[in-house]
Amino acid sequence: MALMINEICVNCAACEPECPNGAISAGDPVYVIDPDKCTECVGYFAESQCIDVCPVECIVPNPQRVETREQLQRKFEQLLTADS
Amino acid sequence: MNTTVPTGPLTKKDFESDQDVRWCPGCGDYMVLAAVQKLLPSLGIARENFVFLSGIGCSSRFPYYMNTYGMHSIHGRAPAIACGLKLARPELSVWVVTGDGDALAIGGNHFIHAMRRNIDVKIILLNNGIYGLTKGQYSPTSEQGKKTKSTPMGSIDRPFNPVALALGAGASFVARTVDNDLAHMSQVLARAAAHKGTAFIEVLQNCMVFNDGAYRAITDKTTRDDARLVLEHGKAMVFGKEKDRAIRLCGFEPQVVHLGKTPVAPSELLVHDERAPHVTLAWLLAQLQGPQFPLPLGIFRAVVEATHDELNTQLHEQARASKGQRDLQHLLGSGDTWTIEPSAARSAAWL
């Protein structure tokens, strides 16, 4: 499933540059993850980079976007195709 | 610096500078920056009329990140520079961002005098209870017993209570908020912005690296409702997750009462009055802290008093009315003056 940022976020932006999909941006009141772009880093890394770097542990699975690893892999491939 | 001049209504983006924010990841300062940048467009003040001043410390990097005028000034002296600026340019909206070291250690003197003068500047104190920029020494707000690099066996100093200090120095607006409650912080900042006179806001701010969890009891979702008392003007001081506890006074002693367990009439509960002309209630609230009491957050005091900049303008007008418009040359040549004759000067040189 895609990830999301909850209200514990302090707007420190540590996650933004780590996202290989460019899914993270500043929002109001806290940073947001675009679920259409988030693959939990499937295709790039073994671990979700934003979760690894977040100092306040505010990045959690998005219950609105339940996806299997295979679906995330397909999303990754689609994003690559869209980019190229 | 970003030099684009906004044409339409201002937005948060208009107050974000092009500088990379260099606080540690997870620092509470980010929240304060976001709250301030969000507030300013709503104030109806042109961007060029905002000034952010700071001293030295992590908090004092604030002006770099604001797309306004600003100055990262001398350690502890930002209130003095703010006072000078406000007197010279009363039409500006002047803000000071400081920390517990900058405002209460090296800048203690400037801090209290800004409070007593009631000059129309806003002072935000980011209180993380530690010296973060110098990598973790105890600060004037570190609690007794705190072990730091400079107090390896625990601090023996009694800490300052910034709210009590500001009240004691005569501040007309004193508030406390916490970094991870954006809604509360935004309300408090908006009230401070609207206040005429020195507005002091203490923000309890977490330092992830050197003092992590210092305010956990009042920031953690599971404990905060029981550990904090949110002050609301005209309302009884009720708190707790179940809203089942309140503060009452027994003589001069505050007490926590359990509303379900203790028979207590609503009239016995302490009611907040931020506009009380006497400072007693605000002072009493400033003394409350855990674990015996909840920590009060909100506006302790907001009273209307003549501001230093208004009085200064009046003084100038009175002087002009009674003495006429004078210039510096007139001042230098007036009063107790004398002339040194060239011959006398030569004799003096001989001696």
Question: In a 3-state reduction of DSSP, which class is residue A11?
Answer: coil
Name the token pair of B253.
Answer: 């002693």
Q: Where are the domains of chain A?
A: 3-83
Q: Residue B2 has what pLDDT? A: 53
Fold of the domain spanning A3-83:
Alpha-Beta Plaits (3.30.70)
Q: Where are the domains of chain B?
A: 12-214
| ipTM of the modeled complex | 0.76
Record the pTM: 0.89
Name the token pair of A63.
Answer: 């219950």
- Find the angle CA(B57)-CA(B35)-CA(A7) to the nearest 5 degrees: 105
At B305, give phi and psi (nearest 5°): -140, 160
* Nearest by Cα to B192 from B215, B214, B166: B166
Would you give the DSSP letter of residue B71?
E
Nearest by CB to residue A10, choosing from B12, B26, B38, is: B26
Q: What CATH code is assigned to B12-214? A: 3.40.50.970
Closest-CA distance, A11 to chain B, in angstroms, reads: 6
CA distance B253 to B246: 14
CA-based nearest residue in chain B for residue A50: B25
- Find the angle CA(B256)-CA(B259)-CA(B260) to the nearest 5 degrees: 135
User: For strand B238-239 and strand B245-250, is the pairing parallel, antiparallel, or unpaired?
Assistant: antiparallel
Length of chain A: 84
Interface of B with A in 177-236 (CB under 8 A): 179-180, 182, 208
CB B68 within 8 A of CB B97: no
Closest-CA distance, A31 to chain B, in angstroms, reads: 11
Closest-CA distance, B155 to chain A, in angstroms, reads: 28
Is residue A80 less than 8 Å (CB to CB) from chain B?
A: no
CB B51 within 8 A of CB B69: yes
CB B101 within 8 A of CB B54: no
Supply the angle between the helices B29-39 and B182-194 in degrees, to the nearest 10: 50
User: For strand B50-54 and strand B69-72, is the pairing parallel, antiparallel, or unpaired?
Assistant: parallel
Interface of A with B in 3-22 (CB under 8 A): 8, 10-14
B179/A10 CB distance under 8 A: yes
What is the CA A60 to chain-centroid distance, rounded? 9
Amino acid, res. A18: E
Question: In a 3-state reduction of DSSP, which class is residue B235?
Answer: coil
From first to last of its 351 residues, what are the pLDDT tens digits of chain B?
A: 555 677 789 999 999 999 989 999 999 999 999 999 999 999 999 999 999 999 999 999 999 999 999 999 999 999 999 999 999 999 999 999 999 999 999 999 999 999 999 999 999 999 999 999 999 999 999 999 999 999 999 999 999 999 999 999 999 999 999 998 999 999 999 999 999 999 999 999 999 999 999 999 999 989 999 999 999 999 999 999 999 999 999 999 999 999 988 888 889 999 999 999 999 999 999 999 999 999 999 999 999 999 999 999 999 999 999 988 888 888 888 888 888 887 766 666 665
Nearest by CB to residue B21, choosing from A13, A28, A56, is: A13
B24/A56 CB distance under 8 A: no
Q: Residue B336 has what pLDDT? A: 84
What is the CA B175 to chain-centroid distance, rounded? 8
B27/A53 CB distance under 8 A: no
Supply the angle between the helices B78-88 and B108-117 in degrees, to the nearest 10: 30
- Maximum CA pair distance of chain A? 36
Q: Which of A7, A12, A24, A32 is the best residue to mutate to test the B interface, defined by the most B CB atoms within 10 Å of its own CB?
A: A12
Nearest by CB to residue B182, choosing from A29, A53, A55, is: A29
User: For strand B130-131 and strand B137-138, is the pairing parallel, antiparallel, or unpaired?
Assistant: antiparallel
Check residue B27 and give left, alpha or beta (phi > 0: left; psi -120 to 50: alpha).
Answer: beta
Name the token pair of B207.
Answer: 């330092």
Q: What is the dihedral of CA B223, B226, B230, B233, to 10 degrees?
A: 170
